Amino acid sequence: MNFVTFESRRIYPSKIVCVGRNYAEHIAELNNAMPDEPVLFVKPNSAIADALYANDDSPVHYEGEIVCLVEQAAIVALAFGFDLTKRDLQTELKSRGLPWERAKAFDRSAVFSRFVDLTVPLSSVRMELWLNDALVQSGGYEAMLFKPDYLLEDINRFMTLADGDLLMTGTPKGVGPLIRGDRFLGKLFSKDTLLLEQQWIVQ
């Protein structure tokens, strides 16, 4: 089983529940329809990784996100994460009305920083993603169409979230391809206070 790190603990999520189309500008960026309810999909434990890998066969796109760690049916910790996507394959699958798993749930498609204790109001949380010292993505609670607490409630209507499961809350506009050697810096803030930052070099 793959794990994430929260304080000094190793956490072994049974699943990662991801939210698609949760930022209006990203919906427009990919020319998708505005959802009436959360667009949800699941990544398995085998998708978890701590490094970013480019793909020589087809482009893999980065999608920076705020990630929530769930314990006892509540959000207890946050991390910066990447929902990696084989974009060309996803586009093909969508055009045929097929599920996205081949484009979303592949090995090493969910990359996370360490998790930090949630000690601030969720409503204050925002993220930034920097690529080679240029800001490429920014967003947070205020811009989300569906807020994390509502997402937990909606998911629990049909699927149990076990202790240690992760919720990826969607990506703002600015997604793009992973290129080997690129340097990413993910940051989480509470308003203007830095909660965590972590750097990755694409391998």
Q: Is 67 helix (H, G, I), strand (E, B) or coil?
A: strand
- Report pLDDT for 29: 80
Indicate whether this model's pTM tops 0.85: yes
- Report pLDDT for 147: 98
Length reported for the chain: 203
- Report pLDDT for 57: 80
How many independent structural domains does the chain possess? 1
Question: Which residues of the chain carry a pLDDT beneath 50?
Answer: none
- Report pLDDT for 108: 97
CATH, residue 178:
3.90.850.10
- Report pLDDT for 177: 97
| CA pair distance 175, 156, nearest whole angstrom | 29
Q: Which residue has the tokens 């240029």?
A: 134
- Report pLDDT for 194: 98
> Which residue, 67, 85, 51, is CA-closest to 183?
51
pLDDT in tens, 5-41: 999 999 999 999 999 999 988 767 877 778 899 999 9
> Which residue, 18, 64, 48, 4, is CA-closest to 159?
18
- Report pLDDT for 146: 97
- Report pLDDT for 136: 98
Q: Which helix (H) or strand (E) holds 146?
A: none
Domain that holds residue 22: 4-201
> Which residue, 66, 199, 83, is CA-closest to 124?
66
| CA pair distance 117, 85, nearest whole angstrom | 28
Q: Is 142 helix (H, G, I), strand (E, B) or coil?
A: helix
| CA pair distance 41, 21, nearest whole angstrom | 11
